[in-house]
A = this chain, B = another copy of it.
Amino acid sequence: MPRAENADEEVRPAPERRRRPTADDRMLTFHSRLRERGLKSTGQRDDIARVFFELRRHISAEELYAEVKKVNPHVGYATIYRTLKLLKECDLLFERHFDEGQARYEVAGEHHHDHFICDRCGKIIEFENDDLERMQRAIAQKMGVLLTHHKMELYGLCADCRTRQ
């Protein structure tokens, strides 16, 4: 394990350090958040939410639509978008805008992490680094601003594309 830079020790893949909620856990949360708001649970919402919770991360609306269609061919695009917005309001989803035209969505509620996006193959790698987080807070404090969220994205060639190049 290299130790020249102290960043080395701090960089680690984002995947869960404590138990990650299952799709079922998240469905229960979704239902209770809906109830809290006086909104209804419906077959479409459940289908969309379950597919979203079970699928790989950083999905686009288009991809989600295609996946949901496999389970429930009746669902329309409008309901996909409306449900994505709803999941966001329920704090169960993050909406991300990488350097593309369309938004990508990921399951919320895990430890904060940032992203590396491969310019060539589009692969998205998550990582986390506590020093980075601390430094951002320090910068915000110095500027006198109140931080609500932030975005830190690295772009380049992933290890695979780099060698294949």
**Cβ-defined contact, B143 with A159, below 8 A:** yes
Known: A116-B145, A150-B152, A150-B153. A1 touches B11 (CB 8 A): no
> Mask for A1-42, Cβ within 8 A of B = 1, else 0?
111111110010000000000000000000000000000000
**What is the interface size of chain A, counting residues whose CB is below 8 A from a CB of the partner?**
46
Per DSSP, are chain A's interface residues mostly helix, strand or loop, or mixed?
mixed
**Cβ-defined contact, A156 with B149, below 8 A:** yes
| Chain B residues positioned under 8 Å from A3 (CB to CB) | 131
9 cross-chain CB contacts under 8 A: A2-B142, A7-B135, A97-B97, A135-B135, A147-B155, A148-B157, A151-B151, A151-B152, A151-B155
